[in-house]
Amino acid sequence: MKDEDLFDMDDAALEAAFKEAKAEFNSPDTEVEETYSADEEETEEQVDEDTEQPEEDSDDNGEEVVDEVVTEEVSEEKTEDVKTEEVTEPQTVQKRKYKANGKEFEFSDDEIFDQFGKVFGQAMNYTQKMQAIAPYRSIIETVKDQGFTQEDMNLMVDVLKGDKQALAAVMKRTGIDALDVDTEAGESYRPKNYGRNDTELAIQDIVEEIGKDPEYPVTYHIVEKQWDSKSRETFVKNPDLIKELHIDVRNGVFDKVSPMAMKMKVLDGGRKSDLEYYVEAGKNYYAEQAKASQYEQANAQRLAKLEADRVATEAAERDRISKAKAEQAKRDSAQDAVAKRKAAAPTTTRADKKTVIDYLDENDEDYEAWYKRVQDKF
C-alpha cells in the first residue's frame, strides 16, 4: 500500500486497515514464539539459581571422554574378576639337599624341624664318643693295619702279664727256639712304631669322608700331582685345607678360581706355592662376587620401587576414573532435573513483557514505525 492510497482512504477504511494490522501483529504465531522464548529464559534462570554445575574441560567430544574412561575401567574390573577366579595351584614343598657318605639326601623344612631334636642328640652323643676314643685312635689303627684278632689281643695281654704258657704259645707260633733267646739283650730293645700320628689320622679321616664323592679323584690329582711339594707340605700340616679344597672342587669354585691363580703365578714368577696363589685368587673372586651381589641387591630394590610406583599409579588412575564416574552421574542427574522442569513449566506469557502494542496509545515515533511496517507490507 502506498502513501497516496492511505491519504485517499476515508476514516472508516483507515480504521479497518489499522484494526487489520493490529490483529496481524497479535497473531497466535507471534504470541507462541514470544511465550516460548520467555519460558526458556525463565527455565534457564531457574537452573542457574538452583543448580551449580561444574564446568567441564572438554573438547568437541564432551561427555564421551568420560564414557571411554568408564569403559576402560569396566574392562579392568572384568580382568581382575577373571584373575580372581583362577584356581590357585598347590605350592611345591621346598626340599633341602645334604650330602653324607657320598650320597645326596633331600629333606623338607618340616622333616628337618621334626627330627632336629633327635638328630642333634645323636650328633652330640657321637661327638662325645669320638672325643673319648681319640687318645686310642693310633692303637685302633695299628690293630686294624696288623690284622689282629681278639684272640691275638688276649694272647699279647697274657704274655705281658708273664703267663709262661702264653709265652710258649707265642714262641711256637713264631718258631723261636728258647735257647736262641738272650734275655740280657732285652735291655737294649726299642719297639718299632706301628701306629700313626695325629696328622696322619686327620688326613685319613678326611679321605674317608670325601673319598666316596665322585669329585674326589679330581681333588686327589690336584694335591698329589698338579700342585707343588710346598703346597703338599702345607696340606700335611693342616689337613682341613684338603676338605676345603674339595668343597671348591665339588661346587665349581675351583674351576673359576684356578685360572686366576695360574695367571697370578705366571705374572709373579712363581715365587709362592700353588696353594698360596689359589688362596689369593680366591679372595679376589669372592670380593668380585660381593660387588655383584650388592649390585643385584640394588637392582632388586630399584625394580621393587618401580613396581610400587606402578601400583600407586594404577590406584591413582582407578581413583580418577571413579571420580569421573561420580561427576558424570551428577551431570546426568542435573540434566534430568532440567528436562523435568522444562516439561512441567506452564506455557504462559510473562506479565512484565508487553506482547501487543496499541499504537493509538503510543507516541508519534511508535505510530510512524507502525505506519512504515503497514506500508511496506501492502
Measured CA to CA, the distance from residue 233 to residue 275 in angstroms comes to 10
Strand (E) or helix (H) holding 105: strand 103-108
Strand (E) or helix (H) holding 255: helix 253-268
Enter the pTM of the model: 0.43
What is the biggest distance separating any 2 CA atoms in the chain, rounded to whole angstroms? 196
Amino acid at 305: K
Neighbours of 13 (CB within 10 A): 12
Separation of CA 120 from chain center:
36
Measured CA to CA, the distance from residue 332 to residue 326 in angstroms comes to 10
3-state secondary structure of 99: strand
Scanning the structure block, which residue is given the C-alpha cell 641387591?
297
Distance, first Cα to last Cα, the chain: 4
Neighbours of 5 (CB within 10 A): 12
- In 3D space, the residue among 361, 347, 377, 360 whose CA is nearest the CA of residue 34 turns out to be 347
Measured CA to CA, the distance from residue 217 to residue 4 in angstroms comes to 140
* 172: CB partners within 8 A, 6+ apart: none
Measured CA to CA, the distance from residue 21 to residue 8 in angstroms comes to 18
Scanning the structure block, which residue is given the C-alpha cell 502506498?
2
Helix residue spans in 51-136 (DSSP H): 64-85, 109-133
Q: What are the extents of the domains in the chain?
A: 108-147, 148-187
* Residue pLDDT, tens place only, 105-163: 778 877 777 777 777 777 777 778 877 877 777 888 888 888 889 998 898 899 889 89
Cβ contacts of 52-60, under 8 Å, gap ≥ 24: 53/331, 53/334, 54/327, 56/331
pLDDT tens for the chain, 378 residues: list them: 555 565 556 666 666 766 676 666 555 544 444 444 444 444 444 444 444 444 444 444 444 444 444 444 445 544 555 444 455 566 677 777 776 665 677 788 777 777 777 777 777 777 788 778 777 778 888 888 888 899 988 988 998 898 989 988 988 888 888 888 877 777 777 888 887 777 888 888 899 889 989 999 999 999 999 999 999 999 999 999 999 999 999 999 999 999 999 999 999 999 999 999 999 999 999 999 898 888 888 888 888 888 988 999 999 999 999 999 999 998 888 888 878 877 776 665 555 555 555 555 556 677 777 777 777 776
273 touches 234 (CB < 8 A): yes
Amino acid at 272: K
Amino acid at 323: K
222 touches 249 (CB < 8 A): yes
Burial of residue 76 (number of CB atoms within 10 Å: 0-12, 13-18, 19+)? middle
Cell numbers at 87, concatenated: 584356581
Neighbours of 235 (CB within 10 A): 19
Cell numbers at 89, concatenated: 595351584
Scanning the structure block, which residue is given the C-alpha cell 564414557?
67
Scanning the structure block, which residue is given the C-alpha cell 493509538?
360
Cell numbers at 201, concatenated: 689320622
Cell numbers at 279, concatenated: 688362596
**Dihedral over alpha carbons 275, 279, 280, 286 (to 10 degrees):** 150
Amino acid at 331: R
